[in-house]
Amino acid sequence: MRDCRTDSLETLLVGIDAGCFNVLDPLFDAGELPNLASVMDAGVADELESQIPPWTASAWPSLYTGVNPGKHGVFGFLDFDGYDWNIVNSSHVRERTLWELLDEQGLTSVVVNAPVTYPPPEIDGALIPGYVAPEHPPCHPEGLLDDVEAELGEYRVYTPSLNESASPDRKVREYLDLVQMRGDAFRYLADRFDPEFGFLQFQVTDTVFHEFPGDREKAARVYRAVDEQLGATLENCNPDTVIVASDHGMDSFDERFSLNEYLRREGYVEGVRGGVGMPTWAAVRDSQLVNGEDGDGPEQTPLARLMAGLADVGLTSQRIGSVLETLGLADLAMRLAPDEMIRAGSEQVDFENSVAYMRSRVECGVRLNVAGRDPNGVVSESEYDAVREELIDVLSRATTSEGDPVFEDVVPREEYVWGEYADDAADVFTIPNDFEVYLTTWLTDDLHQIPPGPAWDHIKEGVIMAAGDAVDESASTGNPHLFDVAPTVLASLGVPASDRMDGDPLPFVTSSGVDTYAEATDSTTGTSDEAVEERLADLGYLE
């Protein structure tokens, strides 16, 4: 276990993806997380309300910039340009991050595994990118990862066997290896760069619930490993203040609801057969990320072309699947059939000819196809308000298989996002009741699909804990929101918040006021790499 000899670390931010009390409390009660418990007992702790949408690629940038997605510009794993798409990267986060603001104030940072930080910025300190970076990513300073591996051994962003038919135990052991790598790398870099601020993030606390839903024993193994790394880091780096925060929570859901199928039945969505239409996570994985191709996708294999031809005459993957399910063969077929084959044989949403559609389930909303904004928009600007109000009414009437409302909130996007990039969000946000319904983009014969076993997905209630010199443990936590984390971290360091932040320092730290910082750049670059199939399957977002 790597020792850290720095005495400069003023604030350590520990990110636990999907951390929440419904997962943590049983482990606290069993005495399995002594180091996290010590932070909670010595300081303050509360639920942390996440944003809409509460998913990794958008929520972590909100946490470390302090602004809503309408200002930083990332709403999901995909960035859309009309009907074309690309994978988000750090250039799509068009707001200054904590470490960039601290750099402007003359403070040094070490950041390990923060999502959506590839390619890394040039700051005083060190940064190893996390989720959605390629394996063995470029780091800052240049050549840093080679130094880390020379000192500590292999460092990975993803588990090597995530998409192989590895045993469950092997997968969990690989999760534990990643946790160890994060802690070792952080302590090595803290020793080397002597930072005032550190951010150490753990992603597999989310992954384990997607890969093994409802398996609390496997989740406990991962959380125990994270707790051990937290303890080693607290002991060896001795930060003055530690803040633990998550981007969202995690809990079970009751059923899947095919939102685009519902919209098709209501006359808003048009379908298309033959392997074109709205991209799915599988399309992203197989074309752009694995093969390094553009958003048009790769040339189809003969098997995929066969399935596309069958779809053209009405024999879609969905209908074949219904027959296989009746025969009890659906699970076997899904394991054996290539994703490209299933995708090519599926009926998909036709972007260009639909009035409104859900582009990606993690956007948590519906996009209108607007003339003048979208390349082949069918809703005129003069009709926009009326069509959106009508759509809100239609969506508000959607019901579950039990006849209950699917959504607790169906509202214009302005209720949840605002800023320069708000127009890139869904036009209508659809918030499932307590997130007990999983929204899917697939066009299916059935609106409602009951999971055959335990199924977990994201909820809005995350967690925040804080203890140390900058924390008044007798103070209220207020009503903590994701946007409050960045200004709270800055306050713990005696640094003013940015006047662009949507959050405020929480009551248990002393505010250092507000300042104006240099503006972020507004240019974006595309993502092109070949070894990232794991990054999308990692959290179970493939549809």
Residue 533: predicted pLDDT: 38
Least confident of 110-114, 241-245, 338-342, 394-398: 338-342
Residue 347: predicted pLDDT: 85
Q: How far is CA 91 from CA 67, 119, 299, in A?
A: 16, 8, 29
pLDDT confidence band for 523 (50 / 70 / 90):
confident
pLDDT confidence band for 81 (50 / 70 / 90):
confident
The predicted-structure confidence for 405-440, as pLDDT tens digits, reads as follows 999 999 999 999 999 999 999 999 999 999 999 999
The predicted-structure confidence for 457-502, as pLDDT tens digits, reads as follows 999 999 999 999 999 999 999 999 999 999 999 999 999 999 999 9
User: How confident is the prediction for the chain on average, in pLDDT?
Assistant: 87
Instruction: Compute CA 483 distance to the chain's CA centroid, rounded to the nearest angstrom.
Output: 15
507 and 475 Cβ atoms separated by less than 8 Å: yes
Residue 87: predicted pLDDT: 86
Quick count: other Cβ atoms within 10 Å of Cβ 403? 6
Is residue 432 reached through a cis peptide bond, with omega within 30 degrees of 0 on the bond before it? no
The predicted-structure confidence for 182-216, as pLDDT tens digits, reads as follows 999 999 999 999 999 999 999 999 999 999 999 99
Give the 3-state secondary structure of residue 227.
helix
Nearest by Cα to 133 from 528, 537, 542, 480 = 528
pTM of this structure = 0.88
Burial of 25 (0-12, 13-18, 19+ CB in 10 A): exposed
Burial of 476 (0-12, 13-18, 19+ CB in 10 A): exposed
Least confident of 219-223, 358-362, 498-502: 358-362
175 and 207 Cβ atoms separated by less than 8 Å: yes
Sorted by where each starts, the structural domains of the chain and their CATH numbers stand as: 11-252+457-535 (3.40.720.10), 255-453 (no CATH)
Mean pLDDT of 117-143: 96
Specify the amino acid at residue 300.
Answer: Q
Is a pLDDT exceeding 80 seen at residue 41? yes
Token match 């509360």: residue? Answer: 46
448 and 262 Cβ atoms separated by less than 8 Å: no
Instruction: Compute CA 391 distance to the chain's CA centroid, rounded to the nearest angstrom.
Output: 27
CA angle at 20 for the pair 182 and 505, rounded to the nearest 5°? 85
Is a pLDDT exceeding 80 seen at residue 322? no
Mean pLDDT of 264-285: 71
Is a pLDDT exceeding 80 seen at residue 356? yes
Pairing of strands 456-459, 249-252: antiparallel
- Backbone φ and ψ for 55, nearest 5 degrees, come out as -130, 155
Put the strands of the sheet holding 356-357 in their side by side order: 356-357, 365-368, 428-432, 407-412
Nearest 10 degrees: Cα torsion 239, 245, 247, 251: 140
Residue 82: predicted pLDDT: 86
The residue that leads in pLDDT, 78 or 296, is 78
258 and 446 Cβ atoms separated by less than 8 Å: yes
Distance CA 135, CA 159 (A): 10
Nearest by Cα to 29 from 44, 40, 18 = 40
pLDDT confidence band for 86 (50 / 70 / 90):
confident
